[in-house]
A and B are shown apart, each in its own frame.
Chain A
Amino acid sequence: EVQLVASGGGLVQPGRSLRLSCAASGFSFDDYGMHWVRQAPGKGLEWVSGISWNSGSIAYADSVKGRFTMSRDNAKNSLYLQMNSLRAEDTAFYYCAKDKGGEITPQAGGGWFDPWGQGTLVTVSS
């Protein structure tokens, strides 16, 4: 069974940093692209970032570009999101999700989110 377990969320002050992790199991992690999707409490879904199987393609939403860095360690079956210069508007549940194939760009057939992890809550507040 595919399992994705996100961790690392918490309360952080504006301008500070936080690193999220996602532990994957139940599938060949190094064969698949991965994504982070967030959801502010009571709001809709926003794609944040995606990374291809070999980290050759990494993409970001404009709202986080230059502040967030997505990475992966295939040897550890783990995904990361380094979040710097956090803002109040970054407050959300952050979900990791698996793509259907190794690539994450639409041209290469990426852009699916299935399945999703349980989410970890990031609260940015003073």
Chain B
Amino acid sequence: NAGVTQTPKFRVLKTGQSMTLLCAQDMNHEYMYWYRQDPGMGLRLIHYSVGEGTTAKGEVPDGYNVSRLKKQNFLLGLESAAPSQTSVYFCASVSPGLNTEAFFGQGTRLTVV
């Protein structure tokens, strides 16, 4: 089982550039999340989605946009990257109807120079 797959795994951007991170899950999960993780800060929620076509802001949404056009995919966009967005990004998914844990992708290490 592939589970949750994030692409790319690494990326270096110049300030002002744009990019999209892709999260794909094959478990038919309704809920999907994008987190960023910085040293000493734990996992901070950027945006999340409770179903296809729906998105909502998390704790730190500024500078990011998301889309959930298909149930299995959750895209995170940076329109104009800033050095403050240098971080490790994790995608996660969970099914509220099943008694299972949240599943994580392997992470994307993004550096903005």
A and B: bona fide binding partners: no
Binding site for B on A (CB under 8 A): none
Binding site for A on B (CB under 8 A): none
